[in-house]
Amino acid sequence: MAAGPENVPPFIAAQLSHLLSHFRLTLKVEQMWSGDKYNSGPFDRFSLLIPYCLDFIKWDVIFDAESPSAAPDVIFGPEDEDFHPFHMQPSPESNNNSLSDWNYKDPSRLLTLIQFLRDQYVLYQRKRVGEVDDDRLKFEISTILSREGIEMHMSSGGEKLEEVKFAVPLLDMNINKMVSCCPWRYSQKIYLQVVYPVGRKYTSAPSAPRLKLVSSPELKAAFSIDDVKLPPWLDGMCLAEYLPNLEEYLGKQVLEAVSLIEVRRHFIEALASPFGRPVEADPVFCRKATFLAASGVFTFLVHFLIPTQFPKQQPSIMLQSSQHFNSQMAPMKSRLISDYPWSPRWEPLLMAERICEFLGDEALNFKRQCSEGQVQQ
């Protein structure tokens, strides 16, 4: 299937590109195709993946290449047969919806429509979860509903056990503002995913819900939530008790992670004294730096990969020859080295000097490996 933008009629392309670049969440177009009999006409329908409750919902948006001035239609997922965004109680604020006065010349219409539909979807799922006959769940909802941005999802897939998922946004802090020269387009957030099994009415004590921390993927550059150990969920606990402790603990971790950026910056600056100015360095999160070094006539690059846990964890080093190439004409590289002498208590300058000392010997090893062609390719 020829999936090129040249197959998309301009009146759809304009709406779609405006939607993708202005929506407050990262949308994905999974597939575009044609409603033509032989699938050879212009692409006028696509599947849109919309982030919801730490997962995606898939909606098919159906335009008609034969009627460019007509509003698009949307087909929701098979699980959401009861979702009727324009027929919900209480009915949406006004009938002045984005469909009734559709104007194909205004490229922001699709954005308005999808935004409205997603807002309605949040309410629809909230209503579904509210209708679940489970006392603990009803209590949990009543205590956390006031949290801004909370999303819930009710999954009932045939034989699967019914589950209710919550996505609770944590920490009322703007992480984007804490990082100087922040490159993130979207606001970075950490969520707690809470999954309650429902429908097991006859179990004596309600079991602990499944808990998982989820963050936006870009946050990994500064702070890895995989390193966070969740506090235990005690018997008979509820979310309203659990969340404040978690948030306090997590808040400290984030602050520390942000302060560690500066520690890494000092380290890179210290490296400059034995190695000279870096060829390349990550100026925002200070996770990477590359220096040019020479041992006799053998010149090579030294790549430093600095973990978020620095200085507790030592940086990984990789050498790359400027003079040896493999059969694909790619420069030869060493393995990742992270077993050299190290102490987190050293001053940055001492760290830099010890690494420089270690590399003096390692460079000779690497040079010999390069000429014998032993290194990984």
Partner 1 sequence: MEDPPLQKIAISGPTLASLIQRFSTSPSAIHGLLFGHVTHLPLTLSDDSSSSAPTLLATVTGFLCSPSFYDSSGTVLPSALRPHSSLLGWFSARRRSPLRPSMREFSVTSSLSSLSQFSSPIDNSNPNLNNSNYREQPFLFPPCVFLLLASPPSDNAPSSHVHTHEYRAFQFRTGPQCFEPRSLDVVNIGPAFRGHYGAFSSNSRLPALDCGLRGSPMDEGSDERLSGMKQAAKDQRELDGCAEGFEIGRLSRMVGSDARSYTEGLEELYQKMLVKIQNLTSLVEKSSAMVLEQENHNRKLKHKILRSAAAE
Give residues in contact with partner 1 (CB under 8 A). Answer: 1, 9-11, 33-40, 45, 60, 62, 64-71, 73-76, 78, 81-82, 84-87, 95, 97, 99-102, 104-105
Using alpha carbons only, what angle is made at residue 29 by residues 26 and 34, rounded to the nearest 5 degrees?
160
Q: β-pairing, 288-295 with 298-305?
A: antiparallel
**Closest to partner 1 by CB, 62 or 330:** 62
CB of 367 to partner 1, least distance (A): 54
Distance CA 151, CA 123 (A): 9
Q: Which helix (H) or strand (E) holds 322?
A: strand 316-325
Smallest separation, CB 73 to partner 1 (Å): 4
Nearer to partner 1 (CB atom), residue 73 or residue 256:
73
Whether 322 and 331 have beta carbons less than 8 Å apart is answered as yes
**SS3 of residue 340 by DSSP:** coil
Which residues, 6 or more positions from 272, have their beta carbon under 8 angstroms from its beta carbon?
278, 291
Residue 66 beta carbon to partner 1: minimum distance, rounded to whole angstroms: 4
Which residue number, 99 or 208, has a Cβ lying nearer to partner 1?
A: 99
In the complex, least distance from residue 152 CB atom to partner 1, rounded to whole angstroms: 22
Residue 105 Cβ vs partner 1, minimum distance, rounded to whole Å? 6
* CB nearer partner 1, residue 95 or residue 376: 95
Q: Which is nearer to partner 1, 120 or 290 (CB)?
A: 120
What's the min distance (Å) between Cβ of 96 and partner 1? 10
Nearer to partner 1, 65 or 182 (CB): 65
Residue (of 201, 197, 249) closest to 225 by Cα position: 249
Strand order across the 163-170 sheet: 151-155, 163-170, 190-197, 210-215
Length of the chain: 377
